[in-house]
Structure 1
Amino acid sequence: MTSRLLLVPPAIGPALREARFYDGSSSIDGPVRVTAADLPEAARVVLSPGARCRDTAEALGLRGAEATDLAPLDAGRWQGRTLAEVAATEGKAVARWLADPEYPAPGGESVRAVCTRVARWLESLPEGRTVAVVEPEVVRAAVVHALGLPVEAFWRLDVAPLTATELSGRSGRWNLRLGRPLGGE
């Protein structure tokens, strides 16, 4: 049987709008115009830990458990600061972090580490449909793994708030469905 995964990044909020390294506390703005009725029926719902995924799931009318393997990329001491603020004081470190998937954020983790963590979770996904309200970097990591892309492609994938990225597969072979709006067939 096939595993089906619908990845939904959170609604827009201050941290996303300000390009702020997420610290788990910032939430979302205003109402969400999509509901659970607009999503396919799922056997399970999982969430990235943090307020904006929890609040997005609640706004969608979804109840799910947080999965630690779906946590956002740990930006270490940069958490809570904007990319511009960090670049102004640690420009070389930011440039290296963005260019080298092996280089961890100071006190945090590397892009490769988050990709490995998410790949491990993806390969353990049970049969049936799962809806996952997850941070944009989790969507990137899942797509990198599913398509067998080089980890260097991670930052080249744009993930818009409240969109659907669908993966389906079995036995380590995944397919990606692009372009379906939330609530559409």
Structure 2
Amino acid sequence: MTSRVILISAAISEALREARFDDGSPVDAAGLRTARTAAAAGAVPAGSRLWVSPTPRCRQTAEALGLDDGVDAPELAGLDVGRWRGATLAEVSAKEPEAVARWLADPASAPHDGESVRAFCDRVAERLDSAAEFDGRTVAVVEPEVVRALVVRVLGAPEPAFWRVDVPPLTVTEFSGRAGRWNVRAGRPLA
């Protein structure tokens, strides 16, 4: 049985524009407009199941795309950055340069008292593999780092590659296959 999982990265927010660690900020007006335009143009893929990351940004994006009947998927929540939440990388680097260096170099490190990149990749990969239990399409609206983590896992790339995958807002990344053997098609703009 072949499954298809289509990830839509959330629309842009003020936190993303300012390069801040997510703090639960909503989608900004431009992001909502772009998402609504994509929905009106019929660009949103249909699926048998709809999962939505529990962040306000993902929920608002799903609603703007006309996907407001999605099921919360806590396993697809963004990376928990603990006490760094709401700060910019520049601010954290100025206060805790050694901690940031360790975090960026060691995927098992979590100096922010949150989640390590390794644990995060493991968490979201489990959810992807659970989609293999279903035939048909699953559509999920998620944070960009969820897409990064899954691309790294599916390709079997080393975990430091997590920092090298760019995921723009409102792009589609598609996984097809089954648990343990997925193919990836990345980066198609939604609109």
Shorter-chain TM-score range: over 0.9
Q: Separation in 2 of the partners of 1:171 and 1:41?
A: 21
1:180 counterpart residue number: 188
Q: Tell me if the contact between 2:130 and 2:179 (Cα under 8 Å) persists in the aligned partners.
A: no
2:49 counterpart residue number: 44
Match of 2:122 among 104, 116, 121: 116
Describe the SS at the equivalent of 1:130: strand
Return the offset for 1:41: 1.7
Matched, 1:138 2:146: yes
Opposite residue 58 of structure 2, the aligned amino acid is C
Match of 2:62 among 54, 57, 60: 57
Q: Tell me if the contact between 2:21 and 2:85 (Cα under 8 Å) persists in the aligned partners.
A: yes
Opposite residue 83 of structure 2, the aligned amino acid is R
1:161 counterpart residue number: 169
Q: Separation in 2 of the partners of 1:40 and 1:139?
A: 17
Q: Separation in 1 of the partners of 2:169 and 2:51?
A: 17
Q: Tell me if the contact between 2:21 and 2:81 (Cα under 8 Å) persists in the aligned partners.
A: yes
Return the offset for 1:26: 0.3
Match of 2:103 among 97, 120, 133: 97
Match of 1:106 among 98, 104, 112: 112
Return the offset for 1:91: 1.2
Opposite residue 62 of structure 2, the aligned amino acid is A
Describe the SS at the equivalent of 1:115: helix
Describe the SS at the equivalent of 1:177: strand
Opposite residue 25 of structure 2, the aligned amino acid is S
1:4 counterpart residue number: 4
How many equivalent pairs are there? 182
Q: Tell me if the contact between 2:167 and 2:187 (Cα under 8 Å) persists in the aligned partners.
A: no
Match of 2:39 among 35, 40, 44: 35
Describe the SS at the equivalent of 1:146: helix
Q: Separation in 2 of the partners of 1:166 and 1:8?
A: 9
Describe the SS at the equivalent of 1:28: coil
Q: Tell me if the contact between 1:78 and 1:105 (Cα under 8 Å) persists in the aligned partners.
A: no
Return the offset for 1:179: 4.4
Return the offset for 1:105: 3.7
Matched, 1:26 2:25: yes
Q: Separation in 1 of the partners of 2:136 and 2:153?
A: 19
Q: Tell me if the contact between 2:10 and 2:141 (Cα under 8 Å) persists in the aligned partners.
A: yes
Cα–Cα, structure 1 residues 42 and 81, in superposed 2: closer, same or farther, change >3 Å?
same
Return the offset for 1:84: 1.2
Segments of structure 2 that go 5 or more residues without pairing to the other structure are: none
